[in-house]
């Protein structure tokens, strides 16, 4: 499963409305996201308008293409576009993907069996 994190910027004067709209996402939009492979999808909004999104998907390219082929996504993106700063494409195409630099479960799984934490215990006493 591919983990995807991205960021966008919401206009400061639109934060409350953006939050309200996402408390009432259209049922057909929710179903389309789920059907096209957007799993464990969350959005986080800072007071400064910084929007961080996270999702898990088998294939981000396929998930985006799946949504692009739905009529509901075109309507949703058109309604959401005015909320974003500095975008000349629909929001779902204009997000900046962030690079994952750490994932606990991946690092735990990569540890050799019985590995000791000798880097942090040496000299302790």
Q: Pairing relation of β-strands 39-45 and 2-9?
A: unpaired
Q: Determine whether 120 is an active site residue.
A: no
Q: List the beta strands (DSSP E) in the chain.
A: 2-9, 39-45, 50-57, 96-98
Other beta carbons less than 10 A from residue 92's beta carbon: 19
> Is residue 84 within 8 Å of 13, Cβ to Cβ?
no
Q: How far apart are CA 28 and CA 30, in angstroms?
A: 5
Helix H or strand E encompassing 97: strand 96-98
Q: How far apart are CA 58 and CA 104, in angstroms?
A: 20
Catalytic residue among 22, 39, 103, 120: 22
Q: Which residues are catalytic?
A: 22
């Amino acid at each position: 499963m591919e983990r995807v994190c991205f960021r966008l910027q919401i206009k400061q004067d639109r934060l409350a409305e953006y939050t309200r709209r996402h408390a009432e996402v259209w049922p057909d939009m929710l179903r389309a996201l789920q059907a096209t492979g957007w799993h464990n999808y969350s959005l986080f909004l800072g007071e400064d308008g910084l929007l961080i999104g996270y999702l898990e998907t088998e294939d981000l390219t396929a998930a985006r293409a799946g949504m692009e082929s739905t009529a509901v996504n075109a309507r949703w993106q058109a309604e959401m576009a005015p909320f974003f700063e500095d975008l000349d494409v629909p929001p779902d195409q204009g997000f900046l993907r962030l690079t994952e630099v750490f994932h606990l479960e991946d690092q735990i799984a990569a540890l050799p069996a019985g590995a000791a934490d000798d880097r942090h215990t040496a000299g302790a006493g």
